[in-house]
Amino acid sequence: MKLKSFKTYLVAILSMCFLFNFIPCYTAKGDTLDPGVNDKIIYLTFDDGPSVLTSEILDILKKYEVKGTFFLIGNQIKGQEKVVKRIHDEGHSIGLHTYTHNYQKIYSSQDRFIAEMLTTQKIINELTGSNTNIIRFPFGSNRKLSENFLNNLHKHNFKVYDWNLFMSDGINCKTPPYKLYREATKSVDSEEPVILLMHCDYTHKNTCIALPEVIKFYKDKGYEFRVIDENTPEHYFPLKKQV
């Protein structure tokens, strides 16, 4: 890896570490996340698929009869088309996570970012017949999403979803399963629905190990498992101030 690329990647990772622990999220004005009779709601979300491990995640979700939301990278779909179709056919939700997941490229301009989302949207539509419009920023929207940027995304009918709880599998795929479990279950006293960030690319075996216990934990606490879709109010980190 070139030094410049490594520095960019390191900055992104350090930013993730900071925002994971200190940055509040914003829900669209006038809305709450899927209000209903049950105020205990969790969204299981998985980034960076599809991969062979995505199939294992799907097996686990099927076993425990819960649904998840998968934010997919466009250039990883080739060779994993059956996985994408399975996500759709089994009633899970599919979101967009750019085409390349290359930090320097996707954040070089708003046009580049939107173009990557549109490319991935088209690929998924051709496979599933579904025209998904939910998106997640790689490394989160913090310090990237401005009001102007958000308006441009809305012109393409995109809706943005960050998270308010996470596993550190995206920072270190070798994080022990017991630690991933502890991270994923530490905010159960929150009054707002839980949007849990996890990852499902080929390196995240420990996520597969931790996931069943995470599901059991939230089931025992009486949580309802839901998927993010176009009717879910947006949920993103504070907007970047424009100068």
pTM: 0.88
Query: For 177-225, how does the pLDDT look when each residue is reduced to its tens digit (9 = 90+)?
Result: 999 999 999 977 778 899 999 999 999 999 999 999 999 999 999 999 9
Q: Is residue 24 part of a domain?
A: no
- For residue 210, the enclosing domain spans 39-236
Q: What phi, psi does 209 have (nearest 5°)?
A: -70, -40
Q: Is residue 5 part of a domain?
A: no
Q: Is residue 14 part of a domain?
A: no
Query: For 13-46, how does the pLDDT look when each residue is reduced to its tens digit (9 = 90+)?
Result: 444 544 444 456 666 543 455 555 568 999 999 9
The enclosing domain of 230 has a CATH number of 3.20.20.370
pLDDT at 11: 43
Q: Is residue 29 part of a domain?
A: no
Question: What are the tokens at 8?
Answer: 């960019």
Q: Is residue 210 part of a domain?
A: yes
Q: What is the mean pLDDT of residues 110-137?
A: 99
What Cα–Cα distance (Å) separates residue 66 from each residue in 93, 159, 218, 235?
12, 23, 11, 22
Q: CA–CA separation, 86 vs 70, rounded Å?
A: 11
Q: Is residue 15 part of a domain?
A: no
Which range is least confidently modeled, 34-38, 135-139, 174-178? 34-38
Cα three-residue angle 32-40-56, rounded to 5 degrees? 105
Helix ranges, 23-164 (H): 52-63, 81-89, 103-106, 110-128, 147-155
- The catalytic site residues sit at 47, 199
Q: Is residue 10 part of a domain?
A: no
Q: Is residue 65 part of a domain?
A: yes
Give how far the C-alpha of residue 132 lies from the chain's centroid of Cα atoms, to the nearest Å: 14
What is the count of structural domains for the chain?
A: 1
